[in-house]
Amino acid sequence: MSSRKAAGFGATILLVLALVLVGLFVKGPYILHVFILIMMRVVLASSLRLINLSGQLSLAHGGLVTLGAYTSALLAMKLGFSTWLALLVAGVLAGLVSCLIGFPFTRLKGIYFTMVSIFFVQIIVLTVQQWRGLTGGASGLYNIPRPDGFWGIEFKSKTSFFFLMLIVMLASLLIMWAIERSRVGMTFLGIRQADSLAESVGINTTGFKVLAFSIGGFFAGLVGGFYAHYVSALDPTAFGFLFTIYILIYMIVGGAGAFAGPIIGATLLTVLPEVARPLESYMPFVFAAILMLIIFLMPEGLVGLPQRLNRLFRKTAKDQADVAG
Amino acid sequence: MLQVERLTKNFGGLAAVSLVDMSVRQGELVGLIGPNGAGKTTFFNLLTGYIKPSEGRVRFEGKDITGRKPHRIASAGIVRSFQQDNVFAEFTVLDNLRLAQHLNSGINFWQTVFSTGGARRREREIRQEAEEILELVGISQLAGTAAGSLPHGHKRMLGIAIALACRPKLLLLDEPLAGMNIAEVDETIALVRRLWENGTTILLIEHNMRAAMSVCQRFCVLNFGRKIAEGTPDEIKNDPEVVKAYLGTGSSVA
Q: A193 and B90: CB-CB below 8 Å? A: yes
pLDDT at A82 over 90: no
Q: With 0-12 CB in 10 A as exposed, 13-18 as middle and 19+ as buried, what is A311?
A: exposed
What is the per-residue pLDDT for B244?
Answer: 83
- Mapping DSSP to helix (H, G, I), strand (E, B) and coil, where does residue A57 land? coil
Q: Choose the weakest-confidence range: A60-64, A161-165, A226-230, A232-236.
A: A232-236
CA angle A221, A87, A31 (to 5 degrees): 80
Which residues from chain B sit within 8 angstroms of residue A186, using beta carbons?
A: 91, 95, 98-99
Residues 6+ apart with CB under 8 A from B150: B87, B93, B142, B158
Within this chain, do residues B174 and B224 fall inside the same structural domain, yes or no? yes
**Between chains, do B88 and A197 touch, taking CB under 8 Å as contact?**
yes
Q: Note the pLDDT of residue B74.
A: 95
- Residues with Cβ within 8 Å of residue A322, at least 6 apart in sequence: none
CA distance A16 to B70: 45
Confidence (pLDDT) at A23: 87
**Do B93 and B74 lie in a common domain?**
no
DSSP assignment letter at A28: -
Phi, psi angles (nearest 5°) of residue B22:
-165, 165
* Residue B164 covered by a domain: no
- The answer as to whether B160 is a domain residue is no
**In this structure, what CATH number is given to the domain that contains residue B44?**
3.40.50.300
Amino acid at A152: G
Residues in chain B closer than 8 A to A190 (CB atoms): 88, 91, 99
- Close Cβ partners of A68 (under 8 Å, ≥ 6 residues apart): A90, A91, A93, A94, A220, A221, A222, A223, A224, A225, A228
Place B249 in a pLDDT band, splitting at 50, 70 and 90: low
CA nearest to A208 within chain B = B109
- B61 shares a domain with B22: yes
Q: Give yes or no: residues B116 and B13 share one domain.
A: no
Mean pLDDT throughout B218-232? 89
* Residue B254: pLDDT band with limits 50, 70, 90: very low
B115 with A178: Cβ contact below 8 A: yes
Write out the H or E segment, with its range, that includes residue A233: strand A233-234
Q: Do B18 and B51 belong to one domain? A: yes
Residues B72 and B136 reside in one and the same domain: no
CA distance A252 to A288: 11
**Nearest by CB to B100, which of A189, A193, A201?**
A201
Cα-trace Rg, chain B: 19
Rounded to an integer, the average pLDDT of B222-233 is 89
Q: What ipTM goes with this model?
A: 0.90
Lowest mean pLDDT among A35-49, A98-112, A132-146: A132-146
Q: Indicate whether B159 belongs to any domain.
A: no
CB A41 within 8 A of CB A266: yes
Chain-chain contact of A204 with B69 (C-beta, under 8 angstroms):
yes
Mean per-residue pLDDT, B203-219:
88
Residues spanned by the domain of B71: 2-87+169-247
The answer on B224 and B104 residing in a single domain is no
What pLDDT shows up at residue B38? 86
Give the model's confidence band at B248: pLDDT under 50 very low, under 70 low, under 90 confident, else very high.
low
Average pLDDT score over residue span A70-77: 92
CB–CB of B166 and A205 under 8 A? Answer: no
**Residue pairs spanning A and B at CB distance below 8 A:** 85
B187 vs A240, higher pLDDT: B187
Question: Do B9 and B76 sit in the same domain of this protein?
Answer: yes
* CA distance linking residue B87 with residue A182, whole number of Å: 20
Answer whether residue B252 is part of any domain. Answer: no
Is residue B9 one of the residues assigned to a domain? yes
Closest Cα in chain B, distance from residue A238 (Å): 34
How many domains would you assign to chain B?
Answer: 2
**Residue A1 distance to chain B (closest CA, Å):** 14
Inspect the interface and report whether the beta carbons of A194 and B165 lie closer than 8 Å: no
Per-residue pLDDT reduced to its tens digit, B122-160:
999 999 999 999 999 999 999 999 999 999 999 999 999
Query: Is A201 close to B91, i.e. CB distance below 8 A?
Result: no
Condensed to tens digits (0 to 9), the pLDDT of residues B98-117 reads: 999 998 888 888 889 888 88
Residue B157 domain-assigned (yes or no): no
Partners of residue B106 in chain A, C-beta under 8 Å: none
Q: What is the mean pLDDT of chain A?
A: 90
Task: Kindly report the pTM of this predicted structure.
Answer: 0.90
Say if residue B178 is in the same domain as residue B141. no
Question: For A193, which residue in chain B has the nearest alpha carbon?
Answer: B88
CA gap B51, B49 in Å, rounded: 5
Determine the residue among A107, A199, A201, A210 to mutate to test chain B binding: the one whose Cβ has the most chain B Cβ atoms within 10 Å: A201
Q: Report the alpha-carbon distance of residue A227 to residue A164 in Å, rounded.
A: 11
Residue B156 resides in a domain = no
Are the C-beta atoms of residues A142 and A16 closer than 8 Å to each other?
A: no
Looking at mean pLDDT, say which of A100-109, A170-179, B34-43 comes out highest.
A170-179
Closest CA to B60 of B139, B2, B125: B2
Closest residue in B to A185 (Cα) is B113
Q: Could you read off the pLDDT of A237-286 as tens digits, one per residue?
A: 888 888 999 999 999 999 999 999 999 999 999 998 888 888 888 888 88
Q: Which of B117, B149, B181 is the last residue of a domain?
A: B149
pLDDT for residue A325 is more than 90: no
Q: DSSP states of chain B as a string?
A: -EEEEEEEEEETTEEEEEEEEEEE-TT-EEEEE-STTSSHHHHHHHHTTSS--SEEEEEETTEE-TT--HHHHHHHTEEE--SSS-S-TTSBHHHHHHHHTHHHH---HHHHHTT-HHHHHHHHHHHHHHHHHHHHHT-GGGTTSBGGGS-HHHHHHHHHHHHHHT--SEEEEE-TTTT--HHHHHHHHHHHHHHHHTT-EEEEE-S-HHHHHHH-SEEEEEETTEEEEEE-HHHHHT-HHHHHHHHSSSS---
The predicted structure's pLDDT at residue A282? 87
Identity of the residue in B70, B91, B119 whose CB atom sits nearest the CB atom of A200: B70
- Cβ atoms within 10 Å of B168's Cβ, excluding its own: 21
Question: How open is the CA angle B44-B50-B54, to the nearest 5 degrees?
Answer: 85
Chain A residues contacting B via beta carbons under 8 Å: 175, 178-179, 182-184, 186-187, 189-190, 193-194, 196-205
CA distances to A148, A184, A230, A258, B28 from A157, rounded to whole Å, are 13, 39, 10, 34, 75
Name, in order, each residue with C-beta under 8 angstroms of B154's C-beta and a sequence gap of 6 or more: B139, B142
Task: Write the CB contacts of A91 (distance below 8 Å, at least 6 apart in sequence).
Answer: A68, A218, A219, A221, A222, A225
Range A12-20 average pLDDT: 90
- Residue A215: pLDDT over 50: yes
Mean pLDDT over the full length of chain B: 90
Domains and CATH numbers, chain A: 28-320 (1.10.3470)
A233 — pLDDT class (breaks 50, 70, 90): confident
Query: pLDDT tens digit string along A153-206?
Result: 777 788 889 999 999 999 999 999 999 999 999 999 999 999 999 999 999 999
CA neighbours closer than 13 Å in the CB half-sphere of residue B38:
21
Residues of B at the A interface, defined by Cβ within 8 angstroms: 48, 50, 69-71, 74-75, 79-80, 82, 85-91, 95, 98-100, 102-103, 105, 107, 109, 112-115, 119, 123, 162-163, 165-166
Sign of CA dihedral B187, B193, B199, B203: positive
